[in-house]
A = this chain, B = another copy of it.
Amino acid sequence: MSNTTSNPVVDIHTHMYPPSYISLLSNRTSVPYIHQPSDPKADPRLIILDSDDDPSRPKSSRGRPVDSTYSSFNKKREFMKVHGITCSVISLANPWLDFLEPESALRTAVGINDDLERACSENNASAEYSDLKLYAFGSLPLSAPAKDIVSEIQRLKTLPHVKGVIMGTTGLGKGLDDPALDDIYAALSSTKTIVFLHPHYGLPAEAFGGPSVVARYGHVLPLAMGFPLETTIAVSRMYLAGVFDRHPKLEFLLAHSGGTLPFLAGRIESCVAHEREFIANGGQTQGPQRSIWDVLHSNLYLDAVIYGQPGLKAALEAAGSVDRIMFGTDHPFFPPLGDEEGAKWLSVESNKGVIGDSFPNDEEARRKVLGGNAVRVLGLDL
């Protein structure tokens, strides 16, 4: 029995801009788009935020460079080998497919999802990569009519290597508490499709003190604080709107260990319990009917991309069980700042170290978080 089968290390938080997606973005001229510089040695530039698309700068210096670690399956496999990862569940990186024209969105989504399915299928059938398995989270055409979104949810269920979908926090444009999402949530529930919820610069710069404050500290404020809060707000709005009451089988996997939900769940529960708006017969809104802890224990999974033991402890405690936490890397983001080819990444080693330190005497718990849970929850065939 190979190491892959007996003791898999599964990375459930690992992104790519696969070639079909690079091509899609390269054919666009408005955000999000990829600019291919005339200098063949220069990396393409990815412009995904309006604030990146500064017309006073040449396109060759807007946005961020996308080198081959973003688009190459070989680079993904190299990264997996270096870190002892035996299976990656690949998802598109933001902004996914949220920007597509409604009429063509379904067709484009089918193409991108089929490409991912094919790449995983070819990889897993290859003798060369027998210890490196690939699966994927699909992307939904959220700008399309609801029937198209539902149709793609149902179709994805027939693709053997697609094990769920990745979704941002905007939903159909109005957030995840939008009642118009009920049909989508119903389709996700009935097909048992898990949603990997991921943030995408959803907080305005004013939340941090304005653009000049943000610029002072590079990417730290939006990434370290904005991303986690965006996820927390998104899932809390779902909770407060009763989405988990109406769809008790809905399953979400929350990026970055739930953002800050494990830490704030008690405060959310207390604020709900003290909110006059939610009083029966008095308030304008009926409050959530289930406790946030119940939702954490029944509907939510958390990745272990948290980089610190206090955070992982809170995640474990809030999830109610070690069975609901899954290892991830956030590759290809947070690469080492140096250029040591083949060296281990600090960001990955730190998350692995935190898992090891949290269960010094419990190999079974480590095994679950590092891969066993992902195999069970996503139904991976390793």
Which chain A residues have a beta carbon within 8 Å of chain B's beta carbons? 174-175, 177, 203-204, 206-209, 213, 216-221, 223-225, 228-229, 232-233, 236-237, 240-241, 256-257, 260, 262-279, 283, 285, 306-311, 313-315, 317-318, 334-335, 337, 346-347, 350, 354
Contact between A347 and B317 (Cβ–Cβ < 8 Å)? Answer: no
Question: A34 CB to closest chain B CB, in angstroms?
Answer: 21
Q: List 10 A-B contacts (CB under 8 A).
A: A177-B213, A208-B237, A209-B233, A219-B275, A219-B277, A223-B267, A224-B271, A263-B314, A269-B307, A308-B318
Question: A221 CB to closest chain B CB, in angstroms?
Answer: 7
CA A260 to CA B259, docked complex, whole Å: 10
Given contacts A209-B237, A260-B263, A273-B337, 16 further A-B contacts (CB under 8 A): A216-B285, A219-B275, A220-B268, A225-B233, A225-B264, A229-B260, A260-B264, A263-B306, A263-B311, A263-B314, A270-B347, A276-B337, A279-B337, A310-B318, A313-B313, A314-B314
* A233: B residues at CB distance < 8 A: 207-209, 221, 225
| Copies of this protein, total | 2
CA A331 to CA B233, docked complex, whole Å: 26
Contact between A240 and B217 (Cβ–Cβ < 8 Å)? Answer: yes
Contact between B213 and A267 (Cβ–Cβ < 8 Å)? Answer: no
* A257: B residues at CB distance < 8 A: 263
Contact between B207 and A203 (Cβ–Cβ < 8 Å)? Answer: yes
Known A-B contacts A264-B260, A266-B350; A317 and B307 likewise in contact (beta carbons under 8 Å)? no
Give the residue name and chain of the B residue nearest to A282 (CB): B337
* A213: B residues at CB distance < 8 A: 175, 177, 237
**Complex partner residue of A218 from B219, B275, B335, CB under 8 angstroms:** B275
Known A-B contacts A207-B204, A225-B233, A311-B266; A220 and B260 likewise in contact (beta carbons under 8 Å)? no
Contact between A262 and B263 (Cβ–Cβ < 8 Å)? Answer: yes
Contact between A236 and B224 (Cβ–Cβ < 8 Å)? Answer: yes
**Complex partner residue of A337 from B220, B240, B274, B308, CB under 8 angstroms:** B274
* A278: B residues at CB distance < 8 A: 218
Question: A224 CB to closest chain B CB, in angstroms?
Answer: 4
Contact between A308 and B260 (Cβ–Cβ < 8 Å)? Answer: no
Known A-B contacts A229-B225, A260-B260, A347-B270; A275 and B310 likewise in contact (beta carbons under 8 Å)? no
Give the residue name and chain of the B residue nearest to A293 (CB): B308
Contact between A311 and B314 (Cβ–Cβ < 8 Å)? Answer: yes
